[in-house]
Amino acid sequence: MRKQHEGGMKGAHPWRGRGFDGGVWNSSISENPFTFSFFLPNFARMNTDVYKTIAAPAEGIYTEKRSKFIAIALPVRSLEEVKAYLEEYQKRYYDARHVCYAYMLGPACEDFRANDNGEPSGTAGKPILGQIRSNGLTDILVIVVRYFGGIKLGTSGLIVAYKSAAAEALSVAQVIEKTVDEEVSFWFEYPFMNDVMRVVKEEEPAIVSQGYETDCRMTLRIRRSLMPRLRARLEKIDTLRFD
């Protein structure tokens, strides 16, 4: 494998660079590296219906020995969003030496990747990902753009720089909590509308949709941990049947 040097590979493709472990993506595994996922240890995949993410994009800047590191934290929900943002920022910062990144997806934080984009292995993507992890965030993409200042920072210097840049962006981001919700759809006869609405009022699910035909149809959304109780109460209503 060709050795990569600091300051090299200007304009490398943002998702065809090095992966999380510093190795080159193997095209025999997948033509699209976005389908390749990494998995956290079991202790990190706890059964919870609450997770933290950021509410809006945030930016931070870190400078070291004339190199400028611009970090952008972005809320994302899918690999498609990640890819779109990477294309956008690669074009926006076309004159930068490196556009490195890391992302985390899913309430259980089970899908993530880090990319060094031409920096020495493990000096960019992993420190960025480390900041996402240490803040307990998911559904997030952090991009760090480097403008090379002409002075090499060395392996340890790069790690500190990318970590610090990511930390700057995350420190000004608005962190919010979201719940993992589930939906339930069902039919019932109109005379039992009051019974259904009593459950809705007391359990407080969101009404996603409702319709009135020969029978009434309703779809409710509620936090995952509260769904068993909601279904149990609905099951007791005469004529009610689930989709």
Which residues of the chain register pLDDT less than 50? 1-5, 8-46
pLDDT at 49: 87
Give me the pLDDT at residue 47, please: 52
pLDDT on residue 142: 98
- Rg of the chain (C-alpha set): 23
Candidates 211, 202, 193, 209; CA nearest to 232 is: 202
pLDDT of the residue at 89: 97
| Residue 115, token pair as written in the block | 């990319």
SS3 for 165?
helix
Could you say which architecture CATH assigns to the domain 180-242?
Answer: 2-Layer Sandwich (3.30)
The pLDDT tens digits for 156-190 are 999 999 999 999 999 999 999 999 999 999 999 99
Contacting residues for 187 by C-beta, under 8 A, at least 6 apart: 215, 216, 217, 240, 241, 243
Rounded to 10 degrees, the C-alpha dihedral 131/133/135/136 comes to: 160
Return residue ranges of the chain for CATH 3.30.230.30: 33-177
pLDDT of residue 40: 43
In 3D, which of 143, 27, 160, 52 has the Cα closest to residue 96? 143
Alpha carbons 18 and 12: distance in angstroms, whole number = 10
pLDDT of residue 36: 34
Of 143, 141, 163, 138, whose CA–CA distance to 153 is shortest?
Answer: 163
Burial 7-45 (b: 16+ CB within 10 A, else e): bebeebebbebbbbebeebeeeeeeebbeeeeeeeeeee
Model pLDDT, residue 203: 96
E strands within 31-155? 50-54, 58-64, 67-75, 98-105, 111-115, 140-147
CB atoms < 10 A from the CB of 150, how many? 8
User: Given this model, what pLDDT does residue 6 score?
Assistant: 55
- CATH 3.30.70.240-classified regions of the chain: 180-242
CATH number of 33-177: 3.30.230.30
Q: What is the pLDDT of residue 121?
A: 94
Residues 6+ apart with CB under 8 A from 213: none
DSSP code for 137? B
pLDDT of amino acid 34: 35
